[in-house]
A and B are shown apart, each in its own frame.
Chain A
């Protein structure tokens, strides 16, 4: 059972990319995340599952301090990244977000050209290398290059939903983050586009640590190495994905994955 005192660890022997310590999030008086302590292993895919409103997206948005943008949100506890607490007073949220990238639920490309969508992150972060080369590399990493290489100067809004989402992934990769957070990245996409995103996640974990929130249990089972089940803001169970889906130790996990609620 999850509580603040024990850190839930998975992936024995693996390096830790992120660790939360008794992390809580409050929206005004309501507590959305309740003292969750867990570790995210490096170069693995971790999925957060749970019914709507369980706090999984809120929890994810703590990892790159996106909740800072919500005035009523208040965070307690620590998020350790490379030995430092992301919420320490001397840590700059802007730098955190470059090193921990994010892909959102709905594709949100900038209303600019495909090229400028990628180049923006490079420019604002003072990228000194070859811009065009980095744009190409990012688009290749997101498996989008072949589809857009002849139309880089066209509007990103002319791409299909699935292409837009891969562009958003490329945009996040361009600034060379170490961790990629994905908040239900395929929930607005059709099954074929979803399949492409899922294949991409499999490729990307060689180079990145990926944390993905999904309400789709099959997706969690397909793409992730480890799965955390959250319910009402609490971490109910966290473990090896295959084990969690075939042999959950918590009753609520079993009820959820067998579709008895959610």
Chain B
């Protein structure tokens, strides 16, 4: 125990460990506290507005008659279309990059650009969407234009998450498949994708929950704030929950601010449901074997 060449400093090392643990605890505590404050504050203002009427009415100039039906339906349309566009494109791009693309400077350039695109401010996607989808493709200020814009916005994240899921599939599995005479497509379809799918789904749903909260790009492409009807086709004008919230918080009357709080609660619940769906989907596919 008294070997002179060792200076164990047991107490000091253990104290360092304890300090680090405390720092981590403070970090998680801080995050939870902020979230709790948000929920408490929003609930105090908004909870009393929550009712079936609030969910089933269209917006109104009179706070007591205002509801978020068009915003909820708009958000649902938006999510369905965004998922429908971004999932196949994102997964397809990820499969190409991971399984097919040659490892050369061009692929690396693509990869770097995708990572950079993930960091581009969402308003820039709004400008892009306005130029391309609203005007060039002539979608107008429609759900489709909005969904295409949001799909573009989350595409880099969907691609990167899917790539990570594909990278996590051990190469020995691919070799085993090739080894019995499977083609590349059969290997990807029957061995690689099923193993990567839970990760791909998790990444996609988490990106979608980012899309559902996006406001700026949709304002940019011209989502309306006052919609007194439900969209019935992808070409209809639309509003979504965050825009309705933004609109209400910008009004002078205090009642509208409380309405906004009510809408925030609804948005949080939708988010929670989506994340729960991500977990359920992941567990279901992972449990298979």
Question: Which A residues lie at the B interface, using CB under 8 A?
Answer: 64, 66, 69, 71, 94-95, 97-99, 101-102, 104, 106, 108-113, 120-121, 124-125, 155-157, 168, 171-172, 174-175
Segment of B50-58, B131-139, B173-181 in the binding face: B173-181
Q: A111-B195, A120-B190, A124-B186 are in contact. Are A104 and B176 (CB under 8 A)?
A: yes
Chain B 159-206 interface residues, beta-carbon cutoff 8 Å to A: 170, 172-183, 186, 190-191, 194-195
CB distance from B179 to the nearest CB of A (A): 4
Contact of B176 among A71, A99, A168 (CB under 8 A): A168
Q: Nearest chain A CB to B283's CB is how many angstroms away?
A: 15
B13 within 8 A of A: no
Known contacts A104-B172, A111-B195, A124-B186: does B181 contact A71 (CB below 8 Å)? no
Q: Provide 17 A-B residue pairs closer than 8 Å at the C-beta atoms, listed in order of the A residue.
A: A71-B102, A71-B103, A94-B182, A97-B181, A98-B180, A99-B181, A101-B180, A102-B175, A104-B172, A104-B179, A106-B172, A108-B170, A121-B181, A121-B182, A124-B186, A157-B289, A175-B180
B172, B176, B177, B180 interface centre (most CB from chain A within 10 Å): B180
Q: Which residues of B contact A (CB under 8 A)?
A: 102-103, 170, 172-183, 186, 190-191, 194-195, 289
SS of B interface (majority): helix
Residues of chain A with a CB closer than 8 A to B175's CB = 66, 69, 102, 104, 108
Residues of A within 8 A of B174 (CB): 69
* A110 to B194 alpha-carbon distance, docked (Å): 11
Pair A175/B289 contact, Cβ less than 8 Å? no
Within the complex, the shortest CB–CB distance from B97 to chain A, in Å, comes to: 14
Please state if A110 and B179 are interface contacts (CB–CB under 8 Å).
no
Complex: A108 Cα to B186 Cα, angstroms = 17
In the complex, residue of chain A having the shortest beta-carbon distance to the beta carbon of B185: A124
* Closest A-B pairs by Cβ, 10 of them: A98-B181, A121-B180, A108-B172, A124-B182, A102-B179, A155-B289, A108-B176, A111-B289, A124-B186, A97-B181
| Bound-complex Cα distance A39 to B136 (A) | 66
Point out which of B175, B194, B195 has the most chain A C-beta atoms below 10 A from its C-beta: B175
Across-interface contacts of A66 in B (CB, < 8 A): 175, 178-179
Contacts of A157 in B (CB 8 A): 289
Contact indicator A97/B176 (Cβ below 8 Å): no
- Judging by beta carbons under 8 Å apart, are B289 and A172 in contact? no
Quick check: B181 and A110 within 8 Å, CB to CB?
no
Q: Which of chain A's residues have a CB closer than 8 A to the CB of B103?
A: 71
Q: Check A120–B177 contact: CB distance below 8 A.
A: yes
Name the CB-closest residue of A to B176.
Answer: A108
CB distance from A151 to the nearest CB of B (A): 13
Contacts of B194 in A (CB 8 A): 111
Give Cα A99 to B181, complex, Å: 8
* Nearest CB in chain A: distance from B158 CB, A: 24
With a cutoff of 8 Å between Cβ atoms, the chain A residues found around residue B195 in the complex are 111
Closest B residue, CB atoms, query A174: B180
Smallest beta-carbon distance B263→chain A, Å: 44
Inter-chain CA distance A139–B176, complex, in Å, is 17
Q: A120-B190, A155-B289 are in contact. Are A172 and B179 (CB under 8 A)?
A: yes
Q: List the A side residues contacting B176 at CB < 8 Å.
A: 104, 108-110, 168, 171
Task: Please give the distance in Å from B181's CB to the nearest CB on chain A.
Answer: 3
Once A98-B181, A102-B179 are accepted as A-B contacts, the answer to whether A108 and B289 lie under 8 Å apart by CB is no
A124 touches B180 (CB 8 A): yes
User: Which of B103, B170, B190 gathers the greatest number of chain A CB atoms within 10 Å?
Assistant: B190
Q: Which residue of A lies closest to B103 (CB)?
A: A71
- Given the interface pairs A104-B175, A104-B176, the reply to whether A110 lies near B191 with Cβ below 8 Å is yes
- Which of A106, A120, A172, A175 counts the most chain B CB atoms within 10 A? A120
> Taking each of B102, B178, B181, which has the highest tally of chain A beta carbons within 10 Å of its own beta carbon?
B181
A135 to B213, CA, bound (A): 52
Closest partner residue, chain A, to B172 (CB atom) = A108
Residue of B nearest to A68 (CB): B178
Bound-state Cα–Cα, A97 to B182, Å: 8
Closest residue on chain A to residue B191 by CB atoms? A110
Closest Cβ of chain A to B191, distance in Å, is: 6
Judging by beta carbons under 8 Å apart, are A97 and B180 in contact?
A: yes
Instruction: Assess the B183–A94 pair: CB atoms within 8 A.
Output: yes
> Would A69 and B178 be within 8 Å (CB), given that A108-B172, A110-B191 are in contact?
yes
Most chain-B CB neighbours within 10 Å: which of A104, A108, A156? A108
Shortest beta-carbon distance, A129 to chain B, in Å? Answer: 16
Contact A112 B289 (CB under 8 A): yes
Q: Are B181 and A94 in contact (CB under 8 A)?
A: yes
Q: Which residues of B are found within 8 Å of A155, using beta-carbon distances? A: 289
Which chain A residues lie closer than 8 Å to B181 at the CB level? Answer: 94-95, 97-99, 121, 124-125, 175
Provide the bound-state CA to CA distance between A53 and B108, in Å. Answer: 30
Distance, CA A222 to CA B281, complexed state (A): 50
**Distance of A70 from chain B, by nearest CB (Å):** 10
CB of A135 to closest CB in B, whole Å: 13
Which chain A residues border B178 with CB–CB below 8 Å?
66, 69, 94, 97
